[in-house]
């Protein structure tokens, strides 16, 4: 192989000597990839913590402990509590508040408790789903951005041949190579983002199902408790 051709096709040389539009595409894809990995790791730790706190709260709640004592502990450390614990705290607080009001029927009390838990559930779910839209956008758009850089690089490479009497591989290879780098960077940014989005969406859906089941079961418990007290 020609040493000069090998040097021209080195990765760093191709990136530094690429046309300005292709360099901008590469820079954009690099930034999107770095941000995707940042959000992937943040979401991984957040979901692991959410799952751990959910398991711990369910063991404690269904272990037959005193609900009032559990409520006081959760309310005292609400910032460190998990998502399901905060749903429980919001529902039980609303339940006690409505029970202190005279003239309210059992259905009104239970419906108010469910609405309070549903509002907290929605806030917790929105927090868990944060940054997923960015991963979805990167996963769907990055290949097309890389393809734009590829098309532009190949176009520039062939336009440069218009002033050459005889085209050779050494003349066209650098332009095509820099174009293919843009495609590779687009895939490098898109693949982890898609994998992370699909995995975390599945994990969040499972947590959401568990939280919805808890809200229904806890509402039934409060309804039976209020019925016995009345």
**Can you tell me whether residue 81 is helix, strand or coil?**
coil
Is the pLDDT score of 28 beyond 90?
A: yes
Is the pLDDT score of 3 beyond 50?
A: no
pLDDT (0 to 100) of residue 116: 94
Kindly report the average pLDDT of the chain as a whole number. Answer: 85
pLDDT (0 to 100) of residue 216: 93
Let me know: does 174 contact 9? Beta carbons within 8 Å.
yes
Let me know: does 80 contact 53? Beta carbons within 8 Å.
no
**Dihedral of alpha carbons 78, 84, 90, 92, sign:** negative
Whole-number percent of the chain with pLDDT over 90: 50
Q: Where are the domains of the chain?
A: 3-64+132-229
pLDDT (0 to 100) of residue 170: 63
Q: Find the range with the poorest average confidence among 21-30, 70-79, 115-124.
A: 70-79
**CA triple 105-109-114, angle to 5 deg:** 145
Whole-number percent of the chain with pLDDT over 70: 85
**Mean pLDDT confidence for 38-66:** 91
Question: What is the tens place of the pLDDT at every residue in 145-182?
Answer: 988 888 888 887 777 666 665 656 666 666 777 778 88
pLDDT band for 142, please (50, 70, 90 cuts).
Answer: very high
**Mean pLDDT confidence for 27-48:** 94
């Amino acid at each position: 192989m020609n040493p000069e051709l090998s040097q021209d096709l080195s990765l760093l040389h191709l990136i530094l000597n690429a046309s300005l539009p292709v360099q901008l595409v590469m820079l954009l894809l690099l930034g999107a990839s770095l941000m995707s990995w940042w959000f992937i790791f943040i979401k991984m730790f957040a979901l692991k913590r959410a799952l751990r706190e959910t398991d711990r709260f369910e063991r404690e709640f269904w272990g037959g402990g005193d609900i009032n004592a559990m409520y006081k502990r959760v309310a005292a450390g609400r910032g460190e509590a998990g998502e399901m614990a905060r749903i429980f705290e919001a529902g039980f607080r609303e339940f006690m508040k409505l029970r202190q009001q005279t003239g309210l029927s059992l259905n009104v009390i239970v419906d108010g408790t469910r609405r309070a838990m549903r509002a907290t559930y929605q806030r917790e779910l929105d927090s868990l789903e944060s940054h997923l839209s960015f991963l979805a956008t990167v996963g769907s758009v990055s290949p097309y951005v890389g393809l734009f850089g590829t098309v532009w690089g190949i176009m520039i490479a062939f336009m440069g041949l218009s002033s050459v009497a005889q085209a050779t591989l050494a003349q066209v290879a650098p332009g095509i190579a820099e174009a293919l780098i843009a495609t590779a960077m687009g895939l490098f940014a898109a693949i982890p983002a898609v994998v992370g989005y699909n995995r975390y969406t599945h994990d969040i859906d499972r947590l959401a199902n568990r939280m919805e089941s808890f809200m229904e079961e806890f509402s039934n418990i409060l309804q039976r408790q209020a019925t016995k007290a009345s």
